[in-house]
Amino acid sequence: MTKTKKINQAVFLFFGLLSLTVAFIACRKNFTESTVDTFSQSEAKEWYYGTFKKSPEWQQSTEKGKKLPDWKNGTYRRVGNMEIVEFPLMKERKSFAIPSASKLSSSEKRKITDGSLSRIVFIRAANGEMVVREIDYIPEMNFLELKGYDISDLSVGTKENKFSGRIITKKWDGTILSIRKSENGKITKTGIRKSNSTQKGNSLSTTTTSNTSGCEMVEICEYERYCEEVHVGDAWVPTGECTPWESTGNCWVEEYCGPGECDYGSSESCECQLYGMGCEGGGGGGEDPPPPPPDPCTDAQPAANATTSLSQNSSYTGAKSNIQGANQTVEHSITFGTDANGNTTASSMTSCTSSTNCTVNTSWPGAFADLHNHPTDQPPSPGDLYGLVTINQNQSNYNTRMVITPDGSVYALVVIDINLVNTFVSTYPKEQIGNYPPDFPDPIFTDFDNAKIQLQMQGFSNLVAEQMAMAFVLDKYNSGIALLKQDGNGNFKRLRTQENTANGNTTYSSNNCQ
Amino acid sequence: MKKIIKFLPVFMLLIINNSYSQQIMKTVNDAEKIKSNEQLFVNKPLKTLLKEIGPEIKMVTANPSKSSNSRLGYFTFRFVDTKKYDSCRQKNKYPKQITVFVKESFEWDVNSSKKSKWTNSDLVKYGELTVVGIRVFGESINY
């Protein structure tokens, strides 16, 4: 009996100590943990369909219906009282911005774009508020090699996280909140976009440079692909049919400065800061201040330089002369391209005798711009703008449409920011009557009309009133397209128009780039 | 009874006549009906459409394009005067407007770009232009 009692005491002691050990270990790791929590994942899904899809944030995004979380492959982590659920994000159009792309071989660029991840993160703050963020993880080549070109098991905020690359945090509508550089799982630098989009060929002479403050300037270029997916209920099943990764032609410069911030998983306030949630009392947390608005003149300068350079080329002067020498009662068009040796070429001239046969030669090898005349005193029209955008969306290097008017004025519509252009045309698609040229939708149509009429009443000619009205609406509606005009010295400059209201009267004045 | 039978055709004629003479757009709020009946006016003279607009046109603007290959010419008819229109725009409101696109080029006096009225002489001058499309835009405000 005594022996049995002793055995019972030993068993009790053993299990008691085991329980204490388990409790101790569990208590040590409960600040940051990474595990699969199906309840929170299903809760996030329920919230996505029940609340988020009805919200203005989802409804007003041009990307709505074009991306969907992969609900089966979520991860869950908890930091303090904050819960974070992350799912892979399936998108019809995938785009990643790759640093120093011109230094990389085609194969390396493809491996990085293939290996990059888009994810959607649902963050439930301590007060129950839900926030949605889209995160791009763009790995560095050496990290990708280390991981066997597959980083799909990446989980930030865990000890296993050794990610090296860029982490871009965006709102659901694609607005970038922050750019960070991570090395071996630690945030080492924060990035700021220093210049707006430039077209290929107008970028930094070197892809990475350091400035005097020790910050790193990096050239970034965007690549995209479209993938076909079958929609089955609340899931998208990839068909494997994807277009190859292609450059969008959109490049810019980002400045990376240290030191880095706190790391994922370190504290609640840090998570607030990293996800740009605007938490109160978050130890310096809160939504990153928006970058200063880009200067419209600086933005358009590379495009203006490229157009000036084209206008000095013999292919251009010959083309212009041919167009001006032809019957001036109808429109004539010539397309410019680049041959294998990098020389500018000009297509033969096409002429249009009615609105139905006004075609532009878009298949000219290396096509990047075109020139046509207007028989009347009209600068580039809304039809010219939507026509250029349609071409540009299929041929990203084709970004310029030049127009010559009867008085010899030469204008150019130039795509300066493809992302803005895409947003613009999806928000304000063209309006078309029969086979007549497309026009702006309301209210741009009305704003253009009002500005033109007011400018005419201020004494400007029809041509100048139209050019100023066009410049005004392109700016006002953040179109991503600049209207340039050649000055007396042969240089193309961006036209800008400002609206002034005083004493109940609205007037317009030039604010052109110099 | 005989009297009723005698006058019935007259009453019927009056009713039919009245129903046909009613305009499509009786109030500014009916402007959308002009758009929904667009096919009644396409390829017809502008004057045909104008007959269907009941409310007083208090402001007219025009864009007399010289080449429909570049951009169509059009008239925009509004039902507030220029003063009211300008005051609405400063509040970022767009009063109701009907824009009528026409096939032919036409002349328009730039000095009176914001005309206050659509006159009979305008009807004579522009009434035969061919309508190719209509757009209705803006909100109903206190007319």
DSSP state letters, A430-441: -B--TTSPPBPP
Q: Is residue B143 part of a domain?
A: no
Whether B61 contacts A445, CB under 8 Å: no
Nearest CB among A376, A433, A442 relative to B133 is that of: A433
- CB contact under 8 Å between A331 and B69, yes or no, is yes
Residue B3 has pLDDT above 50, yes or no: yes
B113-123: pLDDT as tens digits: 566 678 888 99
Q: Is residue B16 part of a domain?
A: no
- CB contact under 8 Å between A437 and B90, yes or no, is no
Q: Is residue B6 part of a domain?
A: no
Instruction: Give mean pLDDT, residues B134-141.
Output: 90
Is the CB of B41 inside 8 Å of chain A's CB atoms? no
Q: Nearest-CA residue of chain A relative to B84?
A: A504
Is the CB of B63 inside 8 Å of chain A's CB atoms? yes
Contacts of A378 in chain B (CB under 8 A): 65-67, 70-71
Q: Is residue B8 part of a domain?
A: no
Structural domain including B65 reads 23-137
Instruction: Give mean pLDDT, residues B54-83.
Output: 89
Q: Nearest-CA residue of chain B relative to A377?
A: B66
* DSSP conformation class of A359: -
Question: Looking at residue A203, what is its pLDDT?
Answer: 37
Of the candidates A89, A86, A92, A286, the one whose C-alpha atom is nearest the C-alpha of residue A178 is A286
Kindly indicate the confidence band of residue B75, based on its pLDDT and cuts at 50, 70 and 90. very high
* DSSP conformation class of A265: T
* DSSP conformation class of B1: -
Whether B102 contacts B74, CB under 8 Å: yes
Helix (H, G, I), strand (E, B) or coil at A358: coil
Q: Distance from A444 to chain B by nearest Cα, in Å?
A: 11
Contacts of A439 in chain B (CB under 8 A): 71-72
Q: Is residue B117 part of a domain?
A: yes
- CB contact under 8 Å between A449 and B76, yes or no, is yes
Q: Nearest-CA residue of chain B relative to A507?
A: B86
Is the CB of B132 inside 8 Å of chain A's CB atoms? yes
Nearest CB among B69, B94, B110 relative to A443 is that of: B94
Of the candidates A47, A382, A355, A107, the one whose C-alpha atom is nearest the C-alpha of residue A245 is A107
| CA end-to-end span of chain A | 103
Q: Nearest-CA residue of chain B relative to A439?
A: B71
Strand bridging mode B73-78 / B59-63:
antiparallel
Name the amino acid, one letter, at A336. F
Number of domains in chain B: 1
List the Cα angle A462/A328/A388 in 5-degree steps.
70
- CB contact under 8 Å between A442 and B94, yes or no, is yes
Q: Nearest-CA residue of chain B relative to A352?
A: B69
Question: Looking at residue A211, what is its pLDDT?
Answer: 55
Of the candidates A176, A222, A179, A221, the one whose C-alpha atom is nearest the C-alpha of residue A203 is A221
Count Cβ atoms below 10 Å from residue A426 Cβ, excluding itself.
Answer: 10
- Give the C-alpha separation, B72 to A436, whole Å: 7
- CB contact under 8 Å between B94 and A506, yes or no, is no
Of the candidates A436, A446, A454, A438, the one whose C-alpha atom is nearest the C-alpha of residue A499 is A454
Is the CB of B82 inside 8 Å of chain A's CB atoms? no
Q: Is residue B109 part of a domain?
A: yes
Q: Distance from B79 to chain A by nearest Cα, in Å?
A: 15
B6-43: pLDDT as tens digits: 555 555 444 444 444 578 999 999 999 999 999 999 99
Contacts of A428 in chain B (CB under 8 A): none
b/e code B106-133 from CB counts within 10 Å (16+ = b): bebebeebbbeebeeebeeebeebebbb
Length of chain B, in residues: 143
Collect all residues from A whose CB is shorter than 8 A from any CB in B: 330-331, 352, 354-355, 358, 374-378, 381-383, 431, 433-434, 436-437, 439, 442-443, 445-446, 449-450, 452-453, 456-457, 462, 501, 504-506
How far, CA to CA in Å, does A295 sit from each of A97, A198, A475, A513, B22? 22, 13, 12, 10, 56
- CB contact under 8 Å between B90 and A501, yes or no, is yes
| CA end-to-end span of chain B | 48
- CB contact under 8 Å between A506 and B90, yes or no, is yes
- Give the C-alpha separation, A91 to A214, whole Å: 37
- CB contact under 8 Å between B89 and A450, yes or no, is yes
Q: Is residue B13 part of a domain?
A: no
- CB contact under 8 Å between B65 and A449, yes or no, is no
Contacts of A434 in chain B (CB under 8 A): 132-133
Q: Distance from B143 to chain A by nearest Cα, in Å?
A: 20
Is the CB of B66 inside 8 Å of chain A's CB atoms? yes
Contacts of A354 in chain B (CB under 8 A): 69
- Give the C-alpha separation, B111 to A352, whole Å: 33
pTM over cut 0.90? no
- Give the C-alpha separation, A497 to A509, whole Å: 6
Of the candidates B115, B113, B128, the one whose C-alpha atom is nearest the C-alpha of residue B50 is B128
Long-range pairs of A341-349 with CB within 8 A, sequence gap ≥ 24 = A344/A310, A344/A313, A344/A315, A344/A316, A345/A315, A346/A315, A346/A316, A346/A318, A346/A319, A349/A319, A349/A322, A349/A323
Instruction: Retrieve residue A319's tokens.
Output: 């083309």
Whether A145 contacts A136, CB under 8 Å: no
Average pLDDT, chain B: 84
- CB contact under 8 Å between B69 and A330, yes or no, is yes
Contacts of B63 in chain A (CB under 8 A): 449, 452
pLDDT tens over chain A, length 514 residues: 455 666 677 666 666 565 555 444 443 333 334 444 555 778 888 888 888 887 777 776 777 777 888 888 888 888 887 888 899 998 888 889 888 877 888 888 889 999 999 999 999 887 778 889 999 999 999 888 888 888 988 888 777 788 999 999 988 888 888 889 888 888 888 888 776 555 443 333 444 555 555 688 888 888 888 887 777 766 777 777 888 888 877 788 888 887 766 778 777 778 888 888 765 444 444 455 555 667 889 889 999 999 999 999 999 999 999 999 999 988 999 999 999 999 999 999 999 876 566 788 999 999 999 999 999 889 999 999 999 999 999 999 999 999 999 999 999 999 999 989 999 999 999 999 988 889 999 989 999 999 999 999 899 998 999 999 999 999 999 999 999 999 999 999 999 999 988 777 889 999 999 8
Residues 6+ apart with CB under 8 A from A217: A194, A204, A208, A209, A210, A211, A253, A254, A255, A256
- CB contact under 8 Å between B133 and A436, yes or no, is yes
